[in-house]
Structure 1
Amino acid sequence: MKARRTTSGLPRAGEEATQGRRNPLGSATGRGSRVRAWPGGDGRRRASAAKQRAELLELQQGIHYRRVFVTLLGVIVAVSAVVVLLGTIGLLNETRSRPLTSAEQNQYKQEEIARRWQAWPTTGVFPDEVKYLGLDRAQQYARRIGIAPETECAKGVDAPVADVLRSHGCVTMLRATYMDQTASFVFTVGVAVLKDEEARVSAGEELTQDDRVGVLPVAFPGTVSERFGPEQRQRTSWVGAGPYLVFSTGGYADGRTRAAIPPEEILHPELWPAGKSIGNQIAYFLADPPKVPPCTQGNVC
């Protein structure tokens, strides 16, 4: 007996299988789809995400380091600015004009006096004319005959004096020769420059009181002093002023020696006072206290 076709409208088993293999567009394929998912897609996404996370972390670290650097740089700039400001304030306080202290005024005087032998011309150290007291204390003027070249201290004085000057650091010796107003006497004045006033005081304490030794005379040919030498010296003396020892010696313009003069005439009433007065005047010029400015930068504080 033949099988009967069902009338319910439902597909048979074979038809179900055929329908299950139909193309989604409606046509039958006859077999299953061959398209499969790409096996490496998830791995790439994970690698890309990891790379992005690493880059983000690196960027965050860079931002952190930059903030630290900027902060440190700001601190350094601020500290430097404070140091510069404090230094500027200190410099302004130090250099601004202010009244001189007593110690600074005294130092100014000492320095000014100590450099005069170099700062002044030789005609400033040894003026053309020097006042002195003559007979009856009459004021007279000694005229300068000539100025000798600067020389070593030991070469401008007698040996006993040279030893003292050398041991106390004598710098140099300046000498000039004068004649009195009557041209009867000649005098040589020698300025020994010591390194400072303390050295001058120490040297003065060791100098001999022998009036036969001291500065060596300087004679100038063709003048009234041409016969004035060591043997013609009648007396010598010295006086201290600042860092200077000022020596003076005098004799007769006619060339008489000390040995030719009777002892009672050596203390001539006019010769020796004139010689000492000339030496003292030059010492006074050198050590005359200068005018001290009231402020560090002049007269305005």
Structure 2
Amino acid sequence: MKGRRPTSGLPRAEGDATPRRDNPLGATTGRRSRVRAWPAANSRERAAVRQRIEMDALQQGVRYRRMFVAMLGVIIVVSSMIVLLGTVGLFAETRSRPLTPAERDQYQQEEIARRWQAWPSTGVFPEEVKYLGLDRAQQYARRIGIAPETECAKGVDAAVAGVLQSHGCVSMLRATYTDQTASFVITVGVAVLKDEESRVSATEELTQDDRVGVLPVAFPGTVTERFGPQQRQRTGWVGAGPYIVFSTAGYADGRTRAAIPPEEILHSELWPAAKSVGNQIAYFLADPPKVPPCTQGNVC
């Protein structure tokens, strides 16, 4: 009909080879184009690649394992050597062996230095102490009492206290004795220094004034009850190890030093007896102990 455009969707006549305009590829309308897929990869090649990857990973793991085993072996060897050397050194150090001269001296010094604490007070101040009386007759001083342990400055005169404190005095021990006839009263004081070197330094500074030294200790109800600082007739000291052993003596009847005229001579037995008692106690404290020959006793 006039005025109507031909419809492009009408079927073509059989044998019409002219392609339709609205399909530039020439495909039939309503039919899907078929695209041919790429051929799949070869399964053998894929297996070979996978096998190579697995082998590389396995070889790397083997290398890591060998490195770890080698490092572990080195650590074990080094540790074993350290343990072995330590065991040998410990055995060499702890096995019994003869003491060296230095070790023998150290053993003696340590043993002497701890006696004032290790011994009972009756060990430091025995009940009886020998001394030589007139005509060198052997006699015994008898202990009356032992004073409580005190500070060094409280057991001596001020002039002596300053020296002891400046050299590290640790403690003061005191006890009072009478001679065999109970005519004299003797107080012995043991000043404990830190070590023997401190004691030597302290004694170099002590005054030679025989009016000062250890303060007397009196015990009420005994022959010593009137023994005080004014009754001291003479004082002295002797060094022994880390100890300074002071002695002072007076008459049991309470006579003061000022009461005795200068021309009157002290009893000839008073000071020798006091000095002998102090020296005996110093000897007990500083007597060198028996040293074992070996580090673990008598068997090396």
Instruction: Give me the TM-score of the superposition, normalised by structure 2.
Output: 0.85
Partner of 1:178 in structure 2? Answer: 177
Deviations 1:209-240 (A, max 9, x none): 00000000001111111111000000000000
Partner of 2:296 in structure 1? Answer: 297
- In 1, distance between residues paired with 2:54 and 2:152? 87
- Give the superposition deviation at 1:82: 0.9
Partner of 1:149 in structure 2? Answer: 148
- In 2, distance between residues paired with 1:71 and 1:142? 82
Q: Rate the CA distance shift 1:96–1:264 in 2: closer, same or farther, 3 A.
A: farther
SS at match of 1:146: strand
Contact residue 248 and residue 276 of structure 1 kept, 8 A = yes
Output aligned runs, 1:244-283, within 5 Å: 244-283=243-282
Contact residue 239 and residue 283 of structure 1 kept, 8 A = yes
Contact residue 190 and residue 248 of structure 1 kept, 8 A = yes
Partner of 1:97 in structure 2? Answer: 96
- In 2, distance between residues paired with 1:146 and 1:208? 28
- Give the superposition deviation at 1:297: 0.8
SS at match of 1:141: strand
More helix by share: 1
- Give the superposition deviation at 1:173: 0.4
- In 1, distance between residues paired with 2:293 and 2:266? 47
Q: What is the RMSD of the two structures over their aligned residues, measured on CA atoms?
A: 1.6
Counterpart of 1:174, as a letter, is L
Deviations 1:135-161 (A, max 9, x none): 111111111111111111011000000
Partner of 1:197 in structure 2? Answer: 196
Runs of 4+ in structure 1 displaced over 6 angstroms? none
- In 2, distance between residues paired with 1:124 and 1:55? 88
Partner of 2:13 in structure 1? Answer: none
Tell me, yes or no, if structure 1 residue 39 matches structure 2 residue 48: no
- In 2, distance between residues paired with 1:79 and 1:266? 83
- In 2, distance between residues paired with 1:195 and 1:287? 14
Q: How many correspondences in the alignment?
A: 265
Partner of 2:106 in structure 1? Answer: 107
Contact residue 258 and residue 266 of structure 1 kept, 8 A = no
SS at match of 2:84: helix
SS at match of 2:79: helix
Q: Rate the CA distance shift 1:266–1:246 in 2: closer, same or farther, 3 A.
A: farther
SS at match of 1:224: coil
SS at match of 2:237: strand
- In 1, distance between residues paired with 2:37 and 2:208? 129
SS at match of 1:221: coil
SS at match of 1:263: coil
Contact residue 158 and residue 213 of structure 1 kept, 8 A = yes
- In 1, distance between residues paired with 2:131 and 2:296? 39
Output aligned runs, 1:46-61, within 5 Å: 46-61=45-60
- In 1, distance between residues paired with 2:85 and 2:263? 76
- Give the superposition deviation at 1:49: 2.7
- Mind listing any 5+ residue stretches in structure 2 that lack a counterpart? 1-35
Partner of 2:166 in structure 1? Answer: 167
Quick one: percent identity of the two aligned structures?
82
- Give the superposition deviation at 1:51: 2.2
SS at match of 2:76: helix
- In 2, distance between residues paired with 1:297 and 1:275? 42
- In 1, distance between residues paired with 2:176 and 2:108? 28
SS at match of 1:170: coil
